[in-house]
Structure 1
């Protein structure tokens, strides 16, 4: 499998992993823990349990096999999600690098797969794979319902999917708080 910039990495197709129990907890759970809520995020929010999550983390973070999730788009280059499993430098990369998506771009890309290309074709899975790329701080009010529906489509329970969606959005749309009535520290007032 060739992915620009990863010539030396042991890349393997990972698309089949999105259907395995424990995948979504591994992929999204850390984003739910923004520190602003007394509730601790748990794999059950995604319809999974800790044992499944632990078992799949062995697969996702294997230094000898770097799972790749292709999200081809009909109207553009799409995105490739790479689990970079270098010893001491684990991380998730999104290629092309430096991409950030507005809410409308994310929805357009999730809803328009390139059906003739290999990769993730399911709309809900595409949305959730692309969600960490959201840089739009002003998402529409319907965003939470859209994410809740995607979570339910991948097996998230009806009672916890809205909670997980709220936590994901809170993490992704965090912005510094600034009261316009505050005096500037540079103005001398």
Structure 2
């Protein structure tokens, strides 16, 4: 179930774009999930029309998942001509700028979430976002996830979400496939850094301190704290 309509942020600090448009009603549409998870046939006229509307309009669709201690995750459909894609951002009011966890586009970056972080965000039941439904939240954030150590019950968890929201045939088989391939970057190993926060070894991840484009140590710790289950 989606939340009651909310006003989207007029701006996301440090993130250029917009104007934003909050569209929680899309989370109740099967076709949206097929497009969001790249499950639809791109030759399908309805799927193409929806994708064009999401990424080719004058406003940028945005979905919100609240986290503990006033942090928020934003999923933004970047409707920028020639550079369209989906950005996954995390922000706290005390931060000068939001941080990009992942980018789902032709120049992808990520992963931004471990399995434990993904399910914690899906299950926290905090109000004020686009939806409180764990199935919808799980699928909304799934493209930002990458983890080579998913638990044994992960397939069942993802199967339930796919069955509830997409009505695809053989959701269990699809769940196993999604967990095996894990987006554009594949499975990534997560470890605990010396400061006690999670980092990964992904070659395209902002949360890999070995990458030249990784966030500073303090921000790595802050983001990990925001996402701590």
Which TM-score applies when normalising by structure 2? 0.61
Aligned ranges 1:20-99 → 2 under 5 Å:
20-29=29-38, 42=40, 50-74=44-68, 77-96=71-90, 97-99=99-101
Hey, what does 1:168 align to over in structure 2? 178
Residue aligned with 1:70, SS: strand
Q: Give the aligned partner of residue 214 of structure 2.
A: none
Structure 2 CA distance for aligned equivalents of residues 170 and 6 of structure 1: 32
CA distance in 1, matches of 2:52, 2:100: 28
Tell me which residue corresponds to 1:133. Answer: 144
TM-score w.r.t. the length of structure 1 is 0.73
Q: Any unmatched runs of 5+ in structure 2? A: 1-8, 91-98, 102-111, 189-229
Change (3 A) 1:114 1:74: farther
| SS class of match (1:94) | strand
Give the drift of 1:71.
1.1
Q: What runs of 5+ residues in structure 1 fail to find an aligned partner?
A: 30-40, 44-48, 177-189
Task: Report deviation, 1:8.
Answer: 4.3
CA distance in 1, matches of 2:17, 2:37: 27
CA shift for structure 1 position 87: 0.8
Query: 1:75 offset after TM fit, Å?
Result: 5.4
CA RMSD of aligned residues (A): 2.4
Count of paired positions: 158
Give CA deviations for 1:42-93 in whole Å, capped at 9, x if unaligned: 55xxxxx934322321321123121001111245613100001111000110
1:110 is aligned to 2:122: yes
Greater relative contact order (Cα < 8 A, sep 6+): 1
In 1, the alpha carbon distance for the partners of 2:19 and 2:27 equals: 19
